[in-house]
Amino acid sequence: MSSRGKSFKACRRCRSLVPKNAETCPVCGSQDFTFEWNGIIIIVNPEKSLIAKILEINNPGKYVIKLE
């Protein structure tokens, strides 16, 4: 899928999904993004989530599973 079809881009540092027009990542402050990603995971309560612990996610939000 081209970047035109994606409403979000992914932060390369923390894998957070951010809107296309965002200039900095609200989670880690990075400005390094990509439109090449697959799979979304939504973390609601990172303290109780086994998946969040495995993926080392500490903040609630939308994240990508795989960066390409």
16 pLDDT band (50/70/90 cuts)? very high
Asked if pLDDT for residue 2 goes beyond 80, the answer is no
pTM of the model: 0.83
64 marked as part of a ligand binding site: no
Backbone angles phi, psi at 65, to 5 degrees: -85, -40
What size, in residues, is the chain? 68
pLDDT digits (tens, 9 = 90+) for 33-54: 999 999 999 999 999 999 999 9
25 marked as part of a ligand binding site: yes
59 marked as part of a ligand binding site: no
Q: Which pLDDT does position 6 carry in this prediction?
A: 73
Structure tokens belonging to residue 5: 């079809």
Burial 28-66 (b: 16+ CB within 10 A, else e): eeeeebeeebeeebebeebeeeeebeebebeeebebbee
| Domain annotation for the chain: domains and CATH numbers | 8-67 (2.20.28.90)
62 marked as part of a ligand binding site: no
